[in-house]
Amino acid sequence: MANTRRHIAAFAPLLFAQQALAGLYPGLSNLNHTCSLVDPVLSCSAGASDPRAVDTCCTETFGGLVLATQFWNTYTGFDTTPSPTPNTTTGTPEGPPVPAWRGADIGTFLAPLGKLDLLAWMNEHWVAQPGWRNGDFWGHEFGKHATCYSSFDVECYGPGYREHEEVADFFETAAAFHRRLPTWSWLEASGVRPSNASTFSLGDFARPLTQGFGAIPYIGCSGPKYNTTEAGKGSTDAGYTVINEIWYYYHVYGRVQRQQGLAVDANITGGRLTNCARTPGALHYYERTAGSEV
Ligand SMILES: *[C@@H]1O[C@H](CO)[C@@H](O)[C@H](O)[C@H]1NC(C)=O
Ligand SMILES: *[C@@H]1O[C@H](CO)[C@@H](O)[C@H](O)[C@H]1NC(C)=O
Ligand SMILES: *[C@@H]1O[C@H](CO)[C@@H](O)[C@H](O)[C@H]1NC(C)=O
Ligand SMILES: *[C@@H]1O[C@H](CO)[C@@H](O)[C@H](O)[C@H]1NC(C)=O
Ligand SMILES: *[C@@H]1O[C@H](CO)[C@@H](O)[C@H](O)[C@H]1NC(C)=O
């Protein structure tokens, strides 16, 4: 029981904006970014399309399609799957690859800012996949995801900006979104509990999660394709069979730190709602390995 990397019965969080570009807005002044003084503009709307027409610290002008991802893994200690996938800046297989994080263990950024509670929360809820140190994983997450929000530019923090303040702010924002997405509880409330003895249908997940969230999330599976399994022999259903990721999409009013998201369907820009098998009873929602929950 000495393993401190055990995970609670929750999905692990991620938060990212799609569409990453480097550089953002060089030359931005660090003055006058008091976002409470401006009406929040909805990201991805016409009002947010021109970065010169708004304060980019107060309106997300880079993409602005916010994605909160949660992972379900049966073994939270030392699995083998690298995470997150796909390993690209856009979160799609075609996107540019994420550069490796070469910075320090990002956990060390939080203590000097007095964010020991946030660090403790992250160590419990945001556990790296095996093979990663948590701090390196968070660095990857920051490098991959935070750098595509205009509102985490350091100029936004004013002349009193403290080193890595935006990093802490990003993780705090991710925690806030995550806390409002009780995937596990939404499923449990509709009678869907992890089971190694029974199987599930896609609708068992899609219905309660869509109802809880208020829009259709993306449901991701890993594991073998259905028609390569014994149960799916002869089927044309080549969807994957092990539930492991849920992606929730939002547009946001004002900067993402305000935490006012507008839930949007995962296919809002086209694209699929799942890669899981659709055959009734084809899916596994596995119980955690003993010792992987607290
Ligand atoms: C900041 O706001 C003050 C008060 O409106 C204004 O006088 C000043 O020019 C602004 N400075 C910048 C750099 O926007
Ligand atoms: C992600 O891609 C980068 C660049 O291709 C690579 O250096 C890094 O190790 C990859 N990370 C994972 C977890 O695969
Ligand atoms: C599984 O289904 C896909 C698409 O329907 C098909 O292309 C593939 O050949 C099938 N594989 C097996 C092993 O049956
Ligand atoms: C998203 O999927 C839903 C459910 O299949 C469908 O009703 C809707 O038209 C789709 N939206 C887009 C933009 O494709
Ligand atoms: C349930 O099955 C998964 C996948 O085989 C396994 O990793 C996990 O340890 C099992 N959990 C329990 C409690 O047996």
Instruction: Note the pLDDT tens digit of each residue in 254-280.
Output: 999 999 999 999 999 898 999 999 999
**Which atom of ligand 3 is least distant from the CA of 234?**
14
pLDDT at 135: 77
What's 152's DSSP letter? G
Pocket lining: 290 vs ligand 1, CB cutoff 6 Å: no
- Going by C-beta distance under 8 Å and a sequence separation of 6 or more, which residues neighbour residue 248? 67, 68, 69, 70, 181, 213, 215, 217, 263, 266
pLDDT at 10: 37
pLDDT > 70? residue 174: yes
Of 15-24, 112-121, 245-254, the poorest mean pLDDT is in 15-24
Residues having CB closer than 6 A to ligand 3 are: 227-228, 236, 238
Mean pLDDT of the chain: 81
pLDDT > 50? residue 82: no
What sign has the CA pseudo-torsion 76, 77, 80, 81? positive
Burial (Cβ within 10 Å: 0-12, 13-18, ≥19) of residue 254: buried
Choose one of 225, 236, 278, 279 to mutate for the ligand 3 pocket test, by most ligand atoms within 8 angstroms of C-beta. Answer: 236
CA of 33 to the centre of ligand 1 (A): 10
- Cα–Cα distance, 252 to 261 (Å, whole number): 4
Specify the residue for token string 């992987």. Answer: 292
How much of the chain, in percent, has pLDDT values that exceed 90?
52
CA of 227 to the centre of ligand 3 (A): 6
Q: Are 285 and 195 in contact (CB under 8 A)?
A: yes
Specify the residue for token string 């995962």. Answer: 266
Residue 268 CA: which ligand is closest?
Answer: 4
Q: Per-residue pLDDT tens for 195-235?
A: 999 999 999 999 999 999 999 999 999 999 999 999 999 99
Burial (Cβ within 10 Å: 0-12, 13-18, ≥19) of residue 132: middle
- What beta strand segments (E) does 59-202 contain? 66-71, 195-200
pLDDT at 18: 38
Residue 129 CA: which ligand is closest?
Answer: 2
pLDDT at 71: 80
**Which atom of ligand 5 is least distant from the CA of 242?**
4
Predicted TM-score of the model (pTM): 0.81
pLDDT > 50? residue 183: yes
For 226-232, which contacts have Cβ atoms below 8 Å and span 24 or more sequence positions? 226/277, 226/279, 226/282, 231/199, 231/281, 231/282, 232/277, 232/279, 232/282
